[in-house]
Amino acid sequence: MHNKVGSVAMTLLLLVNVFCAGFSSMTVTTRIGFAMARDRAFPYSKQLHRVNAITKAPDALIAVTFFLDVLLCLLPLISQTAFEAITGIAAIGYQISYAIPIFLRLTVSKDTFK
C-alpha cells in the first residue's frame, strides 16, 4: 500500500533541501567572485565589485553568478556528455584543492609552520 501523504511530505522535504543547497552554493560562489572581482581578477571587475548602497550586496555579481548557474543547470538538456565532463572535472578539482595545502605543509612550509 502506498502512502501518498508520506510521499508528498518526503518530496517537499527534498525540495526544501535542494532549495537551501542552491542558496548555499550561490552564497559561496558569490563571495569567492566578490573577492576575485575586488582583486581585479575578472574582466569588468570594477562593475562586478560595486556594492549596492541599499542592499549592501554586489547585485551585478549576484546576477552574473545566477545566470551562469542557470546555464550550467540547463547544460544536461543540450549535452549529457558535456555535463558529465564538467562535473567530473569539478570533482577532481575539489580533491586536488584539499591535497594542495597538505602537500605544501609537508614540503614548502615544514620548517616555518607552527
C-alpha grid cell, residue 82: 558535456
Q: What is the pTM of this model?
A: 0.66
CB-CB neighbours of 45 under 10 Å: 16
DSSP state of 113: -
What was the pLDDT predicted at 51?
92
pLDDT of residue 114: 64
**Res. 58 pLDDT band, cuts 50 70 90:** very high
| pLDDT reading at 63 higher than 90 | yes
Segment 64-85, tens digit of pLDDT: 999 988 888 888 888 889 888 9
Q: CA 15, CA 53: separation in Å to the nearest integer? A: 33
How far does the chain reach from its first CA to its final CA, in angstroms?
61
Q: Indicate whether 89 pLDDT > 60.
A: yes
Give the pLDDT confidence of 90-105 residue by residue, as tens digits: 889 888 988 888 888 8
62 in Cβ contact with 68 (< 8 Å): no
Distance CA 44, CA 33 (A): 12
Domain boundaries, the chain: 4-78, 79-114
Neighbouring C-beta atoms of residue 33, cutoff 10 Å: 21
